[in-house]
Homo-oligomer: A and B are copies of this chain.
């Protein structure tokens, strides 16, 4: 394999101020939840991207002042010598592979949380305290302005001392610098408010001061939202381009994106690859300096074409670099089919938003580099490779497990599924409206499995316990997935729905047992994620009159964590789906569906059919029977515990990694970073 010539442009070096990026692949700053709390986890996570070929690798936002403190989110505080030492671990890990290390100096202004510091939020102008716990901000005095600018400089010096090559002044996403720029939040009448020049002054002065302090040794970058639709109103694209032009002489790299985070990190359900291009392309009008833009790029052709267009100089990535840290190397080596393409599911963001450890649907090793010692491209050789493994069930967990076992050197891995295709539940969930790109999870694995000589895939074969026993495999893994409970149970409310036998499950809808067109249908979603809305949209497209009902306070609360909630609900509304939140269903019969609101008032809908999207139960009968017969079997994925697909993939991967351990069904201990330990 060799790289296509047209992609060579991606591997040109790019000069930014006093530094040179070895290529055009650039992992932009993005949150991980590691920051000040997990410095070694961060170092291994970022270092892996450098190893995978990203020429520039940045850590997440680094608050410069204690009144910009992010608890419960974790940021990279850069306030004292301990912070400097901890951040140096990451810079060193990035440098070990020849990449440049970047750090994004930050002040949140009125959007600071201060959940730990209890600091008083500051902003260009007084902001009223609307939510009593996420209160407003006080107007900055000139003394405050000078102090925060000094904090930026002090932090920049620390960043330089920690070894960072690229120092950002963060002016995007509605934070302090944008608050100065926006007429909606800046009502000052002094030299920092009013005209555009005055509103941009804080940004320009801060960049200038940072450049003065470290510009000889570090490249100076700034991040800006360019679309005129930032989290704050009152920031317009023509004005932004003017500010870019003013910044041009003192900035070495412009990192540009659209402002509203749900669009900047838009999911594949609602935003296509490169969706930011119409905005980002405008920046070249205002500067000749290097520009980096993002857009969930995974296609080398698209990347090369936008570089060639001259619009940007670097391909920025956050999520695609999580899904595949080795994306650049794979392009360079012409291993295009090996690229784990980001699905744009935003499971990584859901995890960060819920303050969990980061994870990825495509890359089960993401975030596990330090604490479990996992490498995305390397696996340790397995003990006794002459063994044969049988994996029953070719959904995400089974596919990942089989693949990892084979990569570890097992002589024979048989992956068997009763369906005529591999993919498990993703075979049908990828067919729900907007869900197409999720299919990449199984497509990538199908390609990898096909290519591996030790793997044999057998479809359309249902395995009984006898069959498994007779098969004679040394290692048996059960990955038989789960099914939607249509029995009327709904664990969180403990209300049992009577007459559930009249209802359909999601699988029944997808397999063709659809309610007749024009008929009123209640889709009752207590799961709270994408299947309920997906089924609802499918049925409305087929002509049904659809009511989406949920016991949760809002429709699809999980989608709020993936940044999709608002767009999803508007999308459903525009599609004509009527939504009812806070309703617990209790009965289905010929007269319709009945239940109760969260205020204990009766709720009902006459003459409707019902689809129950309540919860899933494991398909574990085969595993149970085998265990009852004394067989040693391992169970992974939804057959063990129905969960998100990221966890199913992780689970299949973990078992394959830890199969040689003393008790492979119990995960090995992972390393935890805490005070009192420095290993």
Residues of B contacting A79 with CB < 8 Å? Answer: 669
Q: Please measure, in the bound complex, the distance between the C-alpha atom of A341 and the C-alpha atom of B133, giving whole angstroms.
A: 23
Residue A115 CB within 8 A of the other chain: yes
Q: Taking the full assembly, how many copies of this chain does it contain?
A: 2
Residue A278 CB within 8 A of the other chain: no
How far is the CB of A579 from the nearest CB of chain B, in Å?
A: 8
A82 touches B676 (CB 8 A): yes
Query: Contacting chain B: which of A162-170, A210-218, A388-396, A489-497?
Result: A489-497
Give residues 546-602 of A contacting B (CB, 8 Å): 553-554, 557-558, 561, 566, 569-570, 573, 579, 598-601
Residue A37 CB within 8 A of the other chain: yes
Q: A118-B647, A641-B121, A667-B117 are in contact. Are A131 and B672 (CB under 8 A)?
A: no
Q: A128-B617, A355-B115, A615-B129 are in contact. Are A137 and B641 (CB under 8 A)?
A: yes
Give residues 480-539 of A contacting B (CB, 8 Å): 482, 485, 489-492, 494, 526-529
Q: Please measure, in the bound complex, the distance between the C-alpha atom of A328 and the C-alpha atom of B37, giving whole angstroms.
A: 37
Query: What count of chain A residues pass the 8 Å CB interface test?
Result: 93
Residue A363 CB within 8 A of the other chain: no
B669 touches A66 (CB 8 A): yes
Residue A119 CB within 8 A of the other chain: yes
Residues of B contacting A558 with CB < 8 Å? Answer: 131-133
Partner of A357, one of B116, B553, B674: B116
Residues of B contacting A335 with CB < 8 Å? Answer: none
Q: A116-B357, A135-B643, A640-B138 are in contact. Are A676 and B491 (CB under 8 A)?
A: no
A120 touches B676 (CB 8 A): no
Partner of A233, one of B82, B494, B600: B494
Residues of B contacting A137 with CB < 8 Å? Answer: 641
Residues of B contacting A132 with CB < 8 Å? Answer: 527-529, 558, 643-644
Residues of B contacting A526 with CB < 8 Å? Answer: 130-131
Nearest 6 pairs of A and B residues by beta carbon: A72-B355, A128-B615, A115-B356, A129-B642, A130-B615, A135-B643
The 29 sampled A-B contact pairs (Cβ below 8 Å) are A36-B672, A36-B674, A37-B37, A37-B675, A38-B675, A39-B674, A39-B675, A40-B675, A66-B667, A71-B355, A80-B669, A85-B676, A115-B351, A115-B354, A115-B355, A115-B357, A117-B670, A118-B359, A120-B651, A127-B491, A128-B491, A132-B527, A132-B529, A133-B529, A135-B643, A136-B615, A569-B599, A573-B599, A674-B675
